Structure 1
Amino acid sequence: MARNTDPVCKICKSQGEKLFLKGERCYTPKCAVDRSRDSSGRRGASGPPGGQRRRRRLSDHGIQLRAKQKARHIYGIYEKQFRGMFDEAARLEGVTGVNLLKLLERRLDNVVYRAGFATSRPQARQAVNHGHIQVNGRKVDIASFIVKPGDVVSWREPSKSSGLYKAANDNVGRRRQATNWITVDSENLTAAIDSTPNEDDVDSTIDTRLITEYYSRR
């Protein structure tokens, strides 16, 4: 299986914002984005006015590409798979961009993250890929598995002695992402899929219009 080896802090810095790819580190002063902002503010006379670097103005294509890359990096998906999900979203009834985010939200690794069973999507993907997660009592080790209403996501019994499970136990009450379509049992570490996500449940910081424009030109 291919693995993304790009430095995740560099990805966030290139976007100019936190994408929360490193779990707990993103909430601490060690966050590279926060440190970069602090250091740029201290440049003073040696740097540009106001201590800010002058960014090159992006073309329309560059803006669209950046929006697409942001979504792709947030969900940890390679281009080929991301394009495939976009094409699938385009075949569904409704707005293509919103459909895309709904499909991305229903990925098993994202559900594990949203439920608070992991501090980041990469950690959630690791839990799935290593066979720690089950859906309706059956092991599923495919991160791109799409959940549906009525599914119950939980940890496999043999995995409850793993470090990832212990970390999930500590994390579930602190970093769980609020959702209206997943009900989490924090005691037993299970997540019940009540419905498919609606437009209010998807990431509002992702500009799906720009993503649609990007692919419409290709």
Structure 2
Amino acid sequence: MARYTGPKTKISRIFGEPILGNGKWLGKNSNPPGQHGAARKRKTLGEYALQLREKQKAKYTYGLLERQFRKTFEEAQRLKGVTGENLIKLLEARLDNTVFRMGLTASRPEARQLVSHKHITVNGEVMNVPSYSCKPGDVIAYKAKSADNSSVTSKSRGKNPKFSWLDWNEGDKKGTFITYPERESVPENIKEQLIVELYSK
């Protein structure tokens, strides 16, 4: 499936925040992309534009294309509870995002590659589908051969303790998806209610 492979800083400049990396160049040039940069007069965004912008931000952040994002939203609608919060929970439960949150890679694209190249197992079985939705109790680990491969494990940076819905044991190279996260625990600056309003039109 196609993925965005263009300049990450350009996308970050559109949204004014480092959604595709550390944003180290954002301080040098935080103007929106375009020929005239900051000098260009930009209209105040309307309601639809704000909603669309929020959806695009979520798609770029989690690395989904439109059809896959729409299917995730429809699944969130079918679940009990608040649709917007369900959407964030489903996006956070993706295997590539879980691998990233566990600190095995520095970015979601790297986590996606790690999964696609069959370095990760779920409950003892090799899983190469980045969009696999983790369930509470799922055990995520390196494949035995990959755990001894320094080029694979060298990208590990340790799990952030604030992600309490995940557990990772560095000694065993194994972790657990404990539960779906609560919205306030997810640090991403996404206004999910705007996405719900957009798809409800």
CA distance in 2, matches of 1:177, 1:129: 26
Provide, for residues 46-74 of structure 1, a one-character-per-residue CA deviation record: whole Å limited to 9, x for no partner: x99xx887543111111001111111111
**Could you tell me which residue of structure 1 aligns to residue 17 of structure 2?**
17
> Deviating runs (4+, > 6 A) in structure 1?
none
**Could you tell me which residue of structure 2 aligns to residue 172 of structure 1?**
158
Q: 1:15 to 1:153 in 2, by over 3 A?
A: same
CA distance in 2, matches of 1:177, 1:107: 19
SS at match of 2:155: helix
Q: Specify the code of the residue in structure 1 equivalent to 2:131.
A: S
TM alignment of 1:1-218, pairs within 5 A? 1-19=1-19, 21-22=20-21, 26=22, 31-37=24-30, 55-160=42-147, 161-168=149-156, 171-172=157-158, 176=160, 178-203=162-187, 205-217=189-201
CA distance in 2, matches of 1:94, 1:10: 36
SS at match of 1:153: strand
More helix by share: 1
Structure whose CA Rg is larger: 1
In 2, are the aligned partners of 1:134 and 1:153 still within 8 Å (CA)? yes
- Gaps of at least 5 residues in structure 2 are none
In 2, are the aligned partners of 1:114 and 1:177 still within 8 Å (CA)? no
Q: 1:149 to 1:54 in 2, by over 3 A?
A: same
Percent identical pairs in the alignment equals 40
SS at match of 1:56: coil
In 1, are the aligned partners of 2:3 and 2:65 still within 8 Å (CA)? no
Tell me the number of residue pairs that the alignment of Structure 1 and Structure 2 aligns: 196
In 2, are the aligned partners of 1:116 and 1:177 still within 8 Å (CA)? no
- Gaps of at least 5 residues in structure 1 are 41-46
Alignment RMSD (CA, Å):
2.1
CA distance in 1, matches of 2:123, 2:52: 38
